[in-house]
Amino acid sequence: MSVFDDARLDDRAALAGADEVLRRLASAGARLRREAGEALRATTTLADTPRPRAVVAAGAEARFIRAIVEPVCPVPFVAWPTHGLPGWVGALDLVVVLASDAAHAGLISTVHEAVRRGAQVVIACPGHSPIAEHAAGSSTTLLPTSTGDTLAAAIVALTAMHVMQLGPSVDSELVAEAMDKVAEDCSPSVETIENPAKEVALGLADTQPLVWGGSVLAARASRRVAEAFRAASGRAALAADVEELLPVLDAAAPRDPFADPFEDLGSADRRPCLVVLDDGNGDELVRSGQTRLLAAAERNDIRVCVIAHQSGSAVERYAALLQTGMYASVYLAVGLGRYHDL
For the chain, list residues with pLDDT below 70: 1, 102, 253, 255-269, 341-342
Residue where one domain finishes, among candidates 131, 149, 173? 173
Whether residue 288 is found in the same domain as residue 166 = no
Q: Does 183 map to a domain?
A: no
pLDDT of residue 104: 85
- For the purposes of burial, counting CB atoms within 10 Å of the CB of 283, is it exposed (0-12), middle (13-18) or buried (19 or more)? exposed
Note the pLDDT of residue 84: 86
Mark whether 166 and 292 lie in a shared domain: no
Kindly state whether residue 1 falls inside one of the protein's structural domains. Answer: no
Strands 140-144 and 272-278: unpaired
Q: Identify the pLDDT of residue 270.
A: 84
Tell me the H-state helices in 234-303: 242-250, 284-299
In this structure, are strands 238-239 and 208-213 parallel, antiparallel, or unpaired?
Answer: parallel
Confidence at residue 269, expressed as pLDDT on a 0 to 100 scale: 67
Contact between 100 and 92 under an 8 Å Cβ cutoff? The reply is no
Q: Are residues 207 and 334 in the same domain?
A: yes
The confidence score (pLDDT) of residue 227 equals 97
Q: Residue 205: give its domain's CATH number.
A: 3.40.50.10490
Whole-number Å distance between alpha carbons of 66 and 80? 10
Task: State whether 78 and 165 are in the same domain.
Answer: yes
| Rounded Cα distance, 208 and 230, in Å | 10
Residue in 93, 90, 101, 95 with CA at minimum distance from that of residue 79: 95
CB atoms within 10 A of CB 183: 20
Same domain, 105 and 247: no
Say whether both 197 and 107 belong to one domain. Answer: no
Report the pLDDT value the prediction gives residue 102, as an integer from 0 to 100.
Answer: 66
Residue closest to 220 by CA, chosen among 77, 329, 61, 328: 61
Among residues 128, 143, 173, which one ends one of the domains?
173
Q: Is residue 99 part of a domain?
A: yes
Euclidean distance between the first and the last CA atom of the chain, given in angstroms as a whole number:
16
Q: What is the pLDDT of residue 83?
A: 84
In a domain, 178, yes or no: no
- Both 234 and 295 in one domain: the answer is yes
- Please, are residues 333 and 203 in contact by the beta-carbon 8 Å criterion? no
Strand partners, 179: none
Q: Are residues 219 and 113 located together in one domain of the fold? A: no
Residue 109 CB neighbours (<10 A): 16
In a domain, 179, yes or no: no
Residues 39 and 121 reside in one and the same domain: yes
Give dist(CA 51, CA 34) in Å, integer.
Answer: 28
Torsion on CA atoms 59, 62, 64, 68, rounded to nearest 10: 140
Residues 117 and 219 in one domain: no
- Which residues lie closer than 8 Å to 180 by C-beta, 6 or more apart? 29
Count Cβ atoms within 10 A of the Cβ of residue 23 and give its class: 0-12 exposed, 13-18 middle, 19 or more buried. Answer: exposed
Q: Which residues form the domain of 134?
A: 29-173
Q: Assess whether 156 and 12 both reside in one domain.
A: no
Looking at residue 75, its pLDDT comes to 97
The CB density around residue 71, as the number of other CB atoms within 10 Å, is 12
Answer whether residue 196 is part of any domain.
Answer: yes
Whether residue 163 is found in the same domain as residue 206: no
User: Looking at the domain assignment, is residue 182 inside a domain?
Assistant: no
Amino acid letter, residue 211: V
The residues, any chain, with a CB within 8 Å of residue 309's CB and separated by 6 or more, are 178, 278, 279, 280, 316, 317, 320, 321, 324
Number of domains in the chain: 2
In a domain, 24, yes or no: no
